[in-house]
Structure 1
Amino acid sequence: MAKQDKPAKKAKGPAIDIGIGEKDRKALAQGLSVLLADSYTLYLMTHNFHWNVTGPQFNGLHMMFMGQYTEQWNALDDIAERIRALGFPAPGTYRQFAGLATFSEVEGVPSADDMLRHLVRAQEATARTARALLPLADKADDQPTADIATQRLAVHEKTAWMLRSMLEH
C-alpha cells in the first residue's frame, strides 16, 4: 500500500482508554498517516498546478484548482488530529510524507491536460487509501475514523470524476 516509514511511536502521557485497544489504535493511526501523506501530497500538487497552469483553460483550471487545494488543506487537520486522538504522533515532514504517500510528486510543469491526468491519478490513489481505512475502522468499532474515511472517499471520488470529465474532448 504505502512506502515503508519508521513505525509511529506511541505518545507519552496517561493511558488511553477510549474503547479501542492499542494494537487497533496503532493500525488505525498508521492507515490515517498514509491518508494524511496522500492528502498533503495531493494538496501540494494541486496548489503547484494552480500556480503554474497555462493555456486556453487557464482561468477555469486556475479557479478549480484553488477550490480543490483549499478543500484539501482544510481536511488535513481533521486527519492529523484523529491520529493524535488515537494516541500517536502525526507525520508532519516532507520526508515522512514522501515515505508514506502512495503516489509521487510531479516533476516540472506539465501541460494543462497532463495536470488533469496527474490529478485524476492522485485523487484516485487517495480515494483508495481512504477506502482501505474502512475495514480497519469497522474492525475496531471506530466511527470517527470511519467518518473521516467516508467523507474523504466521497470527496476524492467526486473530484476524480470531475477531472476525468474535463479530459473527454
Structure 2
Amino acid sequence: MAKKSKTESAPAPASKSVSKKSASVNIGISDKNRAAVANDLQILLADESLLYAKTRNFHWNVEGPHFGPLHKLFEAQYTELAEVIDSIAERIRKVGHYAVGTLSGFLNLARLLEHNGEGDGTDRDMIQALLDDHETIIREMRNTIDRADDTYKDAGTADFLTGLMEQHETMAWMLRAHLA
C-alpha cells in the first residue's frame, strides 16, 4: 500500500486480507464481515502505533520556551494512545482474528507517515504534525464506523470506534489550542 501524505488518506484495502483468523467465532457476524472489520481495525492499529511513536519522539525531542508544557502534553497523549492501541488489538481478537504486532507490519499498513528527524522543526511544527495525524485518523474513523455498522453489521465495532474517535477529537482539540 502506498504511503500517503499526513493529510491525505486511502481507504482500507478491499482485496488484501491482512488478518489471520483464529478459532471459530459465532457472534452473529459472518466470517466475511468479521474479516473485513478486522482488516479495517488492523490498518487503524497501524496508524495508531505510528502516531504513538511520533508522539513519543516529539516528547523526547521537544525544545524551546514551551518545553515543559509540551513535554507533559505529549506524554499524556502517548500514554492515552498506548491504551487505544491495546484496545484496538483486543477488539481484533474479539472478532476472531490475530492482531498485527510488528513494526514492519505497522509500517506496511499505516496510512500515516513516519517522522524521521530528531530535533528538526519547531515545537509548532511538532504540534501541527500531530494535529494533522489525529484529524486524518478522525476522518478515516468516520468512514470505518459507517462500514462497520452499515456494511458489516457490527454495531459493537461501530460503537467501539465512536468512543475512540471522540478520544482523538479531544486530543486534536488540545493540540489545536496550543496553536491558537
Q: TM-score, normalised by structure 1?
A: 0.90
The CA RMSD measured in Å over matched residues stands at: 1.8
The runs of 5 or more residues in structure 1 that have no matched partner are none
- Counterpart in the other structure of 1:160: 172
Pick from 93, 114, 128 the counterpart of residue 125 of structure 2: 114
- Counterpart in the other structure of 2:49: 40
What is the distance in 2 between the residues matched to 1:72 and 1:150? Answer: 15
Q: What secondary structure, in the 3-state scheme, does the structure 2 residue paired with 1:18 have?
A: coil
What is the distance in 2 between the residues matched to 1:115 and 1:107? Answer: 12
Q: What secondary structure, in the 3-state scheme, does the structure 2 residue paired with 1:134 have?
A: helix
What are the equivalent positions in structure 2 for 1:1-169 lying under 5 Å apart?
Answer: 1=10, 7-13=17-23, 15-108=24-117, 109=119, 110-139=121-150, 140-168=152-180
Name the CA shift for 1:116/1:12 in 2 (closer, same or farther; >3 Å).
closer
CA-to-aligned-CA distance 1:41-76 (integer Å, 9 cap, x gap)? 111111111111000000000001111000000111
**What amino acid is the match of 2:167?**
V
What is the distance in 2 between the residues matched to 1:19 and 1:72? Answer: 30
- Measure how far apart 1:124 and its partner are: 0.8
Runs of 4+ more than 3 Å apart: 2-6
Identical columns (%): 42
The runs of 5 or more residues in structure 2 that have no matched partner are 1-9
Q: TM-score, normalised by structure 2?
A: 0.85
